[in-house]
Amino acid sequence: MNSVPRIALGLALALGGSLAAAPIAAQTQGGQAAALDKQERAALQALKTAIEAKDYTAAAGALPAAQAAARSGYGRYLASALQLRLGLETKNYGLQASAIDAMVSSGAAPAAALPELYKNQGALAVSAGQPDKAEQAFTRWTEIAPDDTDALLALAEVKAARKNVAEEVALIDRAIKARKAAGQPVPESWYKRGLKQAFDAKLAPATIAFSHDLVAAYPTADNWRDALLISRDLAPQDQAATLDLLRLLRGAKAMGGDRDYYQLADALTKAGLGAEATAVLDEGIAAKMVDPTQGQVKDLLASAKRRVTSAAALKTLESKAASATSGAAAMEAADAFFSNGDYAKAGALYRSAIQKGSVDADLANSRLGMALALAGQKAEAETALRAVAGSRTNLASLWLVWLEQRG
């Protein structure tokens, strides 16, 4: 016989304990006397006595008589509860399953017992290979206990087994929100499970949400790397967006090896941002992730150094930006100052570019936010990043998560 899944069967022990405390008599439910007639009480007591004596042969014989004598809803509920106890003590899963079904269908189950009933009904159905029944039971469990994370995740597992990934992902999200609302920490594995399922199913909005929540709650280098690479893979990005994503990868200290350093340095060099490209390669070399003797690295480093903007050139760019009527010159100057690590000056020039116009406002706002974040101006950086729209929204949101973690 299949084993019962992870959800533990504990309901019958509690029910059995309450039935063992006193003889079957006029018991109360919901404050009202349960009208058990004499025949019902006698048959139920005989079954209970046999179970307590651990005379399971006698109990098996007394069970049909108790079921036949139980005419009232509460009588059927008590007979089924005793059957469940017998099934537990004899490890008979079939007896347990039919007992729980009968307890539910009796219509007399106390409201407080229903969550456990549906929980165990679903667990036994999963064990018996009955997905329809399991889904129905776990659905009822979530309806009765909508904030019970065990219920939500149990139903999510059934949805996953039935290839209903969209509903599975939504249930994981509900479980995470319920856990947060209760002021309890959310296990990292919940975020990762939701992220993987959403990404594999190409559910872009859910993927983005899970990736952001993951790095917000667990900002490890591996999680940042996964979140950023997933973001890159969700949709094609232009060169500028790819560059800024790789910048965040570096800022989050999530560079994975020589390929990351080379790719970022190469993108920066091609953009004419030699100072930053040189700094990236030097950082990779210092971290022993980049081999400075490798021919490709040597060539890139030499090219990057040739593209370093001198102090005099920076001054010239700033003067042109001041006199220009459009924002293009200010944007070029801002990028150069950003590359050279003067983030405060870069921020001022990005603002000028936005004010003068004729530039991509989302690109300018996102880089303004990045510069202000690196300059330590948190509130101003948040304002700029929240102004970003369009295809850069996701990237700006990730920069916001990173900014929040900088304190």
Range of the domain at 328: 318-405
29, β-bridge pairs: 32
**Is position 262 within any domain?**
no
| pLDDT of amino acid 307 | 96
| pLDDT of amino acid 34 | 52
What DSSP designation does 113 have?
G
| pLDDT of amino acid 242 | 93
With a CB cutoff of 8 Å and minimum separation 6, the contacts of 118 are: 104, 137, 138, 140, 141, 144
With a CB cutoff of 8 Å and minimum separation 6, the contacts of 290 are: 258, 261, 262, 281, 284, 297
Which range has the worst mean pLDDT, 16-30, 186-200, 207-221?
16-30
CA distance 146 to 22: 34
User: What Å distances lie between residue 312 and 75, 323, 328, CA to CA?
Assistant: 94, 17, 20
**Is position 24 within any domain?**
yes
Q: Which of 84, 109, 129 is the last residue of a domain?
A: 129
| pLDDT of amino acid 342 | 97
**Is position 353 within any domain?**
yes
- Segment 286-317, tens digit of pLDDT: 999 999 999 999 999 999 999 999 999 999 99
**Is position 87 within any domain?**
yes
Query: Coil, strand, or helix at residue 140?
Result: helix
**Is position 246 within any domain?**
no
CB atoms within 10 A of CB 112: 7
With a CB cutoff of 8 Å and minimum separation 6, the contacts of 109 are: 77, 103, 117
- Segment 56-101, tens digit of pLDDT: 999 999 999 999 999 889 999 999 999 999 999 999 989 999 999 9
Contact 347, 368 (CB under 8 A): yes
| pLDDT of amino acid 18 | 44
The yes-or-no verdict on residue 102 having pLDDT over 90 is yes
| pLDDT of amino acid 223 | 97
Total domains, the chain: 2
The yes-or-no verdict on residue 230 having pLDDT over 80 is yes
The yes-or-no verdict on residue 38 having pLDDT over 60 is yes
- Segment 363-379, tens digit of pLDDT: 999 999 999 999 999 99
Per the model's pLDDT, the better-predicted residue between 237 and 162 turns out to be: 162
DSSP 380-395: HHHHHHHT--GGGHHH
Q: What percent of the chain has pLDDT over 70?
A: 91
- Segment 104-126, tens digit of pLDDT: 999 999 999 999 999 999 999 99
The residue to which tokens 């059927």 are assigned:
76
- Segment 338-352, tens digit of pLDDT: 999 999 999 999 999
**Is position 4 within any domain?**
no
With a CB cutoff of 8 Å and minimum separation 6, the contacts of 127 are: 2, 3, 4, 5, 93
**Is position 136 within any domain?**
no
CATH of the domain at 335: 1.25.40.10
Per the model's pLDDT, the better-predicted residue between 1 and 184 turns out to be: 184
Q: How confident is the model at residue 6 (pLDDT cuts 50, 70, 90)?
A: very low
**Is position 3 within any domain?**
no
What does the radius of gyration of the chain's CA atoms come to, in whole angstroms? 33
For the segment 268-277, the average pLDDT, to the nearest whole number, is 97
Give the mean pLDDT of the chain. Answer: 91
Q: Which of 129, 148, 183 is the last residue of a domain?
A: 129
The yes-or-no verdict on residue 406 having pLDDT over 90 is no
Q: What percent of the chain has pLDDT over 90?
A: 85
Query: Coil, strand, or helix at residue 33?
Result: strand
CA distance 49 to 66: 12
| pLDDT of amino acid 35 | 67
CA distance 202 to 150: 26
Closest CA to 111 of 31, 36, 33, 30: 30
Q: Which of 129, 159, 194 is the last residue of a domain?
A: 129
